[in-house]
Copies of this chain bind each other. A is one copy, B any other.
Amino acid sequence: MSKIIADHVVVEVRYPVNDSFIITLRSPVDIPDILPGNFAEIQIENTTGVFLRRPFSILDVDYESRMISFFIKIIGKGTKKLGEAKRGDKVSLIYPLGNSFSLPEPGKKVLIVGGGSGIAPFVLLGRNLKSNNNDVTFLIGGKSKKDVLVSSLFSGFGKVLTTTEDGSAGEKGFVTGHSLFKSGNIHFDKIYSCGPEPMMKAIGKIANRNGIDCEVSLENMMACGFGACLCCVTETIEGNKRVCKEGPVFNVNYLKWRI
């Protein structure tokens, strides 16, 4: 895999919802193949308190026009500053980093469960699954209506269900309480999940109980993002593994999660 490290030019920053933005940048060189789950390390310069790059999943990519985009939730100084970028600004990116979600056999039925900024990798995943002729259901959870607005990003790739904690959209409650799971007979061949760790663990538990293969994408604290520092490890059945290199996508049963 060849990696890009280069200044990219900001083409657009738009806010589909208040606290999250989609940033699109143009690469100065051809973009290599991006797999669903791959991420980039973005440098946010001249921001007090931000020293290291920040990792973000790749939302989408247009090879033709050399465009790459990210869906980013503002949670601290770096994401706030990045969200203030203007068209024409230059931003240094390193990518593609990490492994990717594995595709099931064509025809298989899959469920994708996401929450918060964890939905970013699911556009590429949804598109690939669709080309792979899989039957895809998305289940997107959030606090309230605005948090699940972005679920429209997935409508082209399959059925989209939502839950909100305040019931302002979709079913009321957490994703794990969705009626989908209540029926008792969950007919999926594979589940993918990305979002807050408690959510992924709960989904992993459901998957295990139903004997369904489940992959999750972790968001550990990273110093480098490309395997050099050993800071981002997670415990697996084969010992500590780097989330940025052997991950971020892991099969739940490979992880030492007590679920």
In residues 44-96 of chain A, which contact B (Cβ within 8 Å)? 45-48, 81
CB of A216 to closest CB in B, whole Å: 35
Most chain B beta carbons < 10 A, residue from A45, A46, A81:
A46
- Size of the A side of the interface (Cβ < 8 Å), in residues, is 5
Bound CA span A45–B81, Å: 12
The smallest C-beta distance from A185 to any residue of chain B, in angstroms, reads 55
> CA separation between A46 and B84, bound complex, in Å?
13
Residues of B within 8 A of A47 (CB): 46
A51 to chain B: closest residue by CB: B48
A46 surroundings in chain B (CB, below 8 A): 46-48, 81
Nearest B residue (CB) for A77: B46
Complex-state Cα separation, A183 to B71, whole angstroms: 73
Q: Which of A20-54 contact B (CB under 8 A)?
A: 45-48
Which residue of chain B is the closest to A47 with respect to CB atoms? B46
Contacts of A48 in B (CB 8 A): 45-46
Give chain A's interface residues, CB within 8 Å of chain B.
45-48, 81
5 contacts between A and B (CB under 8 A): A45-B48, A46-B46, A46-B47, A46-B48, A46-B81
